[in-house]
Structure 1
Amino acid sequence: MKAIDAGVRLLPLVSLPLLASPALSHYSGARAPRRRRSTPLQSGTAPLRHFLPSADAVSSGLLLQSGRTLFSRRFPQLLATPLVCAGALLVVGQRRLVQRKETSHRRHLPPMTATVPINSSLRLTPGQQNRSADEVKTFMRVTYSLTIPVILLLCLLAIIANVVVLLSIRSIRAVNFTATLKLTFSLAASDIWTSVVVAVSLFYNSYLPTVYDLPATSACFPLALEALRTGGLLTGVFHLLALSVNHYISIARPFDYQRIMNSAATVAIVGGMWALPPGALLVFFHSLPGAGFNTPGGKCMNIMFYSTIWFRLLISLLIIGLMTVMCSLYARVMIILGRLRAKFDSNKRSQQQLSRQRKTVMTTWLVFGTFLVGWLPSSVLFVLTATGMPLNLRPDATLADRVPIVLLSLTALSLVMIKSLTNPIIYATRIPEIRDYIASVWSKLGPCRCSNEDASSTLLTEETNLRITVDNGGNYRKVPEGTKV
């Protein structure tokens, strides 16, 4: 193989004098090329093919001048024609081989390296390329050193706020611990998990490699973090879907609510929402042949599938589909509440119960709205930055190309953390059980002027202490326990 490779490299050198001769200039259709002054980029690096006529010119000249050369007396040049053709074909093959090597080399370059092909019209010198790469590194280092600590602080605040919400479980009696409260506390726990995973992923995958130049030697841990982060996103979506189904059943099918949403069913739903999304992603990453966790070498370096459009579009379409189902369920709930309010207009107690149910639904609507504001930009950006999409950054992307993408990514990530920080505030202001616990804790720390007399702002335990009665006309209505009917 080495001998063949040496012959391939020497044959164009042998055919060079023949290509430069006046007789064979008729075959090429042009005069012999002049020796141009080499530029700094070409000197010592440009292959011999830049000084040879193209293979297309040689072949076209042979076809046009074949009749004339058959009757020519320049037999030595005519006998050398097959050698010239072979040399031209080898030049074309060598050119394609070099292009493949250059393309393969660019695919394995680090993300911060800006490369320009030899035949590029841009003609950047190595000094310009290095200066562009240094500008990109400086921008990324300064931006990450300023913004990532702020996002990490938001993660810490979100974790503390949601932990306070979870601590209020101790003050809730078992009889009042309904399915709605269980799902709400599980959603708060998922916000804690999401904040922890995002903080670790941001610090390990972005802050350390960019600010301190500590690249990861293996991609297995970052890949596992991505599976847990995406799984946490899906877990939050499934919690909101479970809350919407819970509210729909309690209002549309009140007779079957206790049977459907019993304690065992609620625990099973919560366990499935926590285990299935991250578990399914981890199993999928393990099942890819030659990629993911099965990459040869054991370092998980082949993770190109994560940037493909089909994978990211699948995740985004799943989230959008679940959001559409939630919107449909809540629209149906509001219609039913409007009908019940018109039916029980004369009953003041029923009007109060319906008002509490409406405020309960509005509380979940607020949580759903924060989820839309927090995760929808990230989901859209997740698709638009896939391979082949408009916002996908190439390895040779300039600073002007990177600035808007980096700023959009940091903004979307900040919205996610603000969402996790806003939900505990909604819980503390609209759920009486959590509000009472926070007021009691605050009263122990200092003087508190909070008033808990208005407990009708919302009520997530409306399923308890209620009794459904049916009048003579066959219509049902809800009345508090102990009320004589």
Structure 2
Amino acid sequence: MKETLRQLYAFSVPSLLLLCAASLAVNARVLLSAYWIRRPLSPTLHISLSLAAADGFASAVLAAGLTVNSLLARWQHDQCVLLLLEALRLAGVIITVAHLLALAANHYLGILRPLHYLTIMTHRNTAACIAALWLLPTFFFFAYFSFVPDQGFQSPECHYTFLRQYKFRAVFSSLFFGPLLLMLLIYSHIFVIVQRHQASRLRFSRMKYVQEWNCPQKKRSRQMARNVKAVYTTLLILGSYLVALMPAVLIFVLYCDDCLYPLPTRTNERINMFFIFTTVNFLVILKTLINPIIYAARMHEIKAATKRMNATVRGVCCQRAAGRREAESEAGGGAGSSSEATQLRQLSGSAGPSSFRMRSLRSPSRNGSLRASARRTSGLRHEQIGVAL
């Protein structure tokens, strides 16, 4: 049984690591495309790009945990390193949830106060919000792991028995389900506001004085349409998080030493839990891989920036290939021209300077015509250079 379990880990962990690498590559591509996005960036785009970075961070930490806990399990590791990876892994989950809550609040503000939105969500406020989304969850878990008596980072050997108890897992689940409940309330109110706005637009469209609709109302309507599209994109991302993270959080809460379902100790039970944990990890990694595809398909700025980035990369590759071909052709042409120059020197040496002098003295008219043609050629060359410049 133990050998079977070891073979299952040897097969599944490399597959999950390859999926993590693909997720990192796709999220990195989305982040690199930000260089080609036209400035200034909207607050929604800022938070979405930070969410892509959070997905990449979660994939990297999960890959590190799989490598240390599964592939390198036969070697002894410092438990403080394992505790550090667990703190970063759990912080990565809450960071992504916090980003989704920030996007929900951002959309709510944009729909509720569209004319005052840009005065509230300035670049400085957006940057401060993103910094808080990253720092607060990380600080919370490191603080929690440091204040458990005789465990965590207070213990010299970094004992982490508290991670297998219901108290800690209930705290973690509240950090997940609390923002989820707030997002449900926010999007429900957004749905009500959008329904009211569509009803008012329909009422105005049936009136004869649609063209007399004042400018602030038109601007509000356009802003509302953009915010509604962004809300739909965020709801797709939220749906992927629910499908991927909800099973993981439920299993994390239900299975522990003093939970409803104790952690398995026998080998056959551990094999069953292996398939459950592998499926959960697969869903979490798949979520980080799908979200950048949603960005590229739904967000116009990222779609256009990705096209410009691809065109730039193709242009650079074509220039390098043309440069190599030109260098090779110059190398081949230089050898041919040197041999031709050697042959001309040999011919001029055999003819001698006296014969050339006699031919020039015998045909003065020819020399004059040659000089005139040389002047015309020089003038034409100067004209061509002037046009090229």
Aligned mates of 2:227, 2:263 — CA distance in 1: 48
Tell me which residue corresponds to 2:180: 323
Question: What are structure 1's unaligned runs of at least 5 residues?
Answer: 1-134, 448-485
Tell me which residue corresponds to 1:183: 47
Question: What are structure 2's unaligned runs of at least 5 residues?
Answer: 212-217, 316-389
Q: 1:272 aligns with which of 117, 122, 132?
A: 132
Aligned mates of 2:129, 2:313 — CA distance in 1: 37
- Matched to 2:121, the amino acid is M
Tell me the secondary structure at the aligned position of residue 387 of structure 1. Answer: coil
Tell me which residue corresponds to 2:231: 361
Aligned mates of 1:228, 1:444 — CA distance in 2: 36
Does the 8 Å CA contact 2:110/2:227 hold for their aligned counterparts? no
Does the 8 Å CA contact 1:163/1:192 hold for their aligned counterparts? yes
Tell me the secondary structure at the aligned position of residue 150 of structure 2. Answer: coil
TM-score by length of 2: 0.74
Aligned mates of 2:262, 2:81 — CA distance in 1: 23
Aligned mates of 1:247, 1:381 — CA distance in 2: 31
Tell me which residue corresponds to 2:72: 208
- After TM superposition, the structure 1 = structure 2 runs for residues 80-95 of structure 1, keeping only pairs within 5 Å, are none
Q: CA deviation at 1:443?
A: 4.2
Does the 8 Å CA contact 2:10/2:71 hold for their aligned counterparts? yes
Greater shift after overlay, 137-146 or 384-393? 384-393
Tell me the secondary structure at the aligned position of residue 255 of structure 1. Answer: coil
Does the 8 Å CA contact 2:114/2:223 hold for their aligned counterparts? no
- Matched to 2:142, the amino acid is L
Tell me which residue corresponds to 2:364: none
Tell me which residue corresponds to 1:113: none
Tell me which residue corresponds to 1:389: 259
Question: How many pairs are equivalent?
Answer: 302
Does the 8 Å CA contact 1:168/1:433 hold for their aligned counterparts? no
Tell me which residue corresponds to 2:304: 436
Tell me which residue corresponds to 1:398: 266
Q: 1:162 aligns with which of 18, 27, 31?
A: 27
- Matched to 1:188, the amino acid is A
Q: Which has the higher contact order (CA 8 A, sep 6+)?
A: 2
Aligned mates of 2:223, 2:122 — CA distance in 1: 22
Aligned mates of 2:313, 2:116 — CA distance in 1: 44
2:157 counterpart of 1:299: yes
Q: CA deviation at 1:354?
A: 4.2
Does the 8 Å CA contact 2:105/2:186 hold for their aligned counterparts? yes
Does the 8 Å CA contact 2:237/2:294 hold for their aligned counterparts? yes
Aligned mates of 1:378, 1:291 — CA distance in 2: 25
- Structure 1 segments of 4+ aligned residues over 6 angstroms from their partners: 348-352
- After TM superposition, the structure 1 = structure 2 runs for residues 67-466 of structure 1, keeping only pairs within 5 Å, are 135=1, 137-175=2-40, 177-209=41-73, 213-216=74-77, 218-295=78-155, 298-300=156-158, 302-345=159-202, 346=205, 354-394=224-264, 397-443=265-311
Aligned mates of 1:390, 1:344 — CA distance in 2: 52
Aligned mates of 2:259, 2:271 — CA distance in 1: 17
Does the 8 Å CA contact 1:154/1:417 hold for their aligned counterparts? yes
Q: CA deviation at 1:446?
A: 6.6
Higher helix share: 2
Q: CA deviation at 1:183?
A: 0.4
- Matched to 1:138, the amino acid is E
Change (3 A) 1:178 1:355: closer
Aligned mates of 1:270, 1:358 — CA distance in 2: 22
Greater shift after overlay, 406-415 or 345-354? 345-354
Aligned mates of 1:263, 1:321 — CA distance in 2: 28
Does the 8 Å CA contact 1:341/1:354 hold for their aligned counterparts? no
Q: CA deviation at 1:387?
A: 1.2
Query: Which string of whole-angstrom CA distances, capped at 9 and with x for unpartnered residues, describes residues 98-152 of structure 1?
Result: xxxxxxxxxxxxxxxxxxxxxxxxxxxxxxxxxxxxx2x2122111111111111
Aligned mates of 1:413, 1:215 — CA distance in 2: 24
Tell me which residue corresponds to 1:34: none
- Matched to 1:306, the amino acid is L
- Matched to 1:234, the amino acid is I
Aligned mates of 2:173, 2:223 — CA distance in 1: 38
- Matched to 1:196, the amino acid is A
Does the 8 Å CA contact 1:168/1:434 hold for their aligned counterparts? yes
Aligned mates of 1:305, 1:242 — CA distance in 2: 30
